[in-house]
Amino acid sequence: MSTWKSAKSVVSLLVAIGAATLLPSPARASQEFPEAIQEAAGMPCAPSCKLCHGKPVGDLASFTAKALSVALISQGFAPAAHDTNFVKQAFAKYKADPNNAEQVQALVEGTDPETGEALCGPTYGCGAHVAKQAPPADLAAPLWVVGAMVVGGLLRRRKPGAS
């Protein structure tokens, strides 16, 4: 018996398991920190990892590289916990301190409060970003021209038949 037949029955089982696991649990919660910061700070985008790690792909060891991450830790944030709620709670305390108003405003504008660099990178996907060209505000003139051409064409075709 060929093995693919036995595999066929196994695949049914695995597909069922796969379907069950399509409700994915979060991967590394640290990948969700940017969205948590975006939500907490009211940023226009999920910021680059550079905001807290100083480099584009962050890890635990580099989390203390920037002033904001150090400040969040001082507000009770524990990065190793990988809990986005901690980020939001710590940022709320950070935001409540009037001394941080300038930094918070920079984040709202999508820039790094420490370096002034842009924190909003590219957007991804193709279809959603192909903007249609806006139609002319007033179609009256071109419609009159087209209409006149059509009527003219029809009249010219009728003439030979009428004669």
β-sheet bridge partners, residue 118: 111
Residue whose structure tokens are 């649990």: 25
Minimum Å gap between C-beta 98 and another protein is 26
* Least CB distance to another protein at residue 77 (A): 13
In one-letter notation, the amino acid at residue 100 is: N
The contact pattern for another protein, residues 42-71, with x = CB under 8 A and - = no contact, is ---xx-xxx---xxxx-xxxx--x------
Residue 112 in tokens: 């790094």
Q: How many whole angstroms separate alpha carbon 42 and alpha carbon 48?
A: 15
* Closer residue to another protein (CB): 11 or 96: 11
- CA–CA gap between residue 111 and residue 19 (Å, rounded): 41
Q: Which residues partner with 111 through β-bridges?
A: 118
Q: Minimal distance in Å, beta carbon 73 to another protein?
A: 15
Which one of 96-104, 127-135, 142-150, 152-160 is the stretch in contact with another protein (CB under 8 A)?
127-135
> Sign of the CA dihedral 136, 141, 144, 150?
negative
Among 40, 82, 104, 157, binds another protein (CB under 8 A): 82
Of the candidate residues 127, 135, 136, 161, the single one contacting another protein (CB under 8 A)? 127
Can you give the length of the chain in residues? 163
> Which spans of this chain sit near another protein (rule: CB under 8 A)?
1-8, 10-11, 13-18, 21-22, 24-35, 38, 45-46, 48-50, 54-57, 59-62, 65, 78, 80-82, 117-129
